[in-house]
Structure 1
Amino acid sequence: MPESRVMPETMNETDVVELLVAQHAMIRDLFDEVERAPVHRRAKAFTRLVRLLAVHETVEEEIVHPYARLVLEDGEAVVDDRLAEEREAKELLRKMDQAGVDEPDFLTNLAVLRAAVTAHAGGEERYEFPRLRARTTVAQRRTLAAGVKAASALAPTHPHPGTESAIRNILVGTPIAMMDRARDVIRQAMGGWD
């Protein structure tokens, strides 16, 4: 999957729920790609997966979850459950990102991460997104999608557990994102992405 396909800010979907569900499908495809990649190509595929997961979770935390807290009847509980799942997945993703694909337990950890991310996406698609769709207008979902795309362009590209709230993401997200993106450019320039 080319790098441009995993850039949420360039996706065509204009409804926030459709956008996020499409990202979930892309994430599943990237897990497949990483699992099937020959060893010499695995790092590049994993880098794309890390980027999409980090950006996706950040924009949900900044835009979608706060809105869901406001409009869903039991939004606090629904969002708190999703945030707990996100934090666990981000912890493992961060460890894997730091250790790299040559880590002996990489494929085992990837399977654990995939199960956690799949369960999390299923929870969003089952408990949060349908209710969000029911409690919003088409115009509101379009506005949220535009916000998600704009935030995606500025989101960190690596996981940062502990920033699972909109306020924390906004306060520390931009400097972290700038550091992440600079690190990505340096890695790419040094041949780290083949």
Structure 2
Amino acid sequence: MTMTETENGRDVVDLLLQQHDEIKSLFRETKASQGQAKQELFNDLVRLLAVHETAEEAVVHPLARRKLDDGEQVVEQRLEEEDRAKKELADLYDMGVDHPDFDRRLENFEADVVNHATREESEELLRLRTTVDAEKLRDLTGALKAAEMVAPTRPHRMAPQSAVGNILAGPPVALFDRVADAVRDWRQKHPEEIRT
């Protein structure tokens, strides 16, 4: 955790709520864009969603299981939603922004993600703020950031939904994703240098 986060009193809940807002904003921007700009915004959305969900599964969900009276049930519901979202996001990613069904499916996917975020905020995040020590929640921002650094940058249909699974599978998959992302980004910026 950085000194700024500590000094500002930001905790893991603040960070996740901010990311939820960024995700909603990226949906709006992606839907309002076309061509290369749309592709780049969608890539940013994919990256943020993949990293965000993996980090939550590694840090926040295990805490909620332990600290909330109905934590097991709440987390299982969120994991089911996240699993469906990973599969739909993977389909959208494979489909590409130019596919005729992309916009319609993105619109439906956005509604599902926003509903998921709303339930997560009320049933998990804000309740953690009332049941977990404030200092512990501030300390968890460092754990969340560390999990994000080794998280895959795109959805994987068969990805594990547990903290242990993410710790074991995440780093090698994340490395592969980050290399693939760098190559994709380079190709998009240098189309004249690519020979067919």
Task: Give the structure-2-normalised TM-score.
Answer: 0.89
Q: Which residue is equivalent to 2:42? A: 46
Distance in 2 between the 1:193 and 1:122 partners? 40
Distance in 2 between the 1:110 and 1:191 partners? 22
1:99-131: CA deviation from partner (whole Å, max 9, x where unpaired): 211111000110111011001101111111121
Q: Which residue is equivalent to 1:125? A: 121
Match status 1:15 vs 2:3: no
Q: Which residue is equivalent to 1:138? A: 134
Q: Which residue is equivalent to 2:163? A: 166
Q: Which residue is equivalent to 1:147? A: 143
Distance in 1 between the 2:190 and 2:96 partners? 12
Counterpart AA for 2:172:
P
1:18-59: CA deviation from partner (whole Å, max 9, x where unpaired): 110010000000000100012331100000000000000000
Match status 1:110 vs 2:110: no
Percent of pairs identical after alignment? Answer: 44
Between the two proteins, the alignment pairs up a number of residues equal to 185
Q: Which residue is equivalent to 1:189? A: 186
Distance in 2 between the 1:82 and 1:174 partners? 23
Gap runs ≥5 in structure 1: 1-8
Q: Which residue is equivalent to 2:96? A: 100
Task: Give the structure-1-normalised TM-score.
Answer: 0.90
Structure 1 or 2, whichever has the larger Rg, is 2
**Displacement after TM superposition at 1:192 (Å):** 6.2
Gap runs ≥5 in structure 2: 192-196
Match status 1:33 vs 2:46: no
More moved, 171-180 vs 38-47: 38-47
User: Is the alpha carbon distance of 1:192 and 1:95 closer, same or farther for their aligned partners in structure 2, counting shifts above 3 Å?
Assistant: farther
Match status 1:63 vs 2:59: yes
Moved over 4 A (4+): none
CA RMSD of aligned residues (A): 1.8
SS at match of 2:154: coil
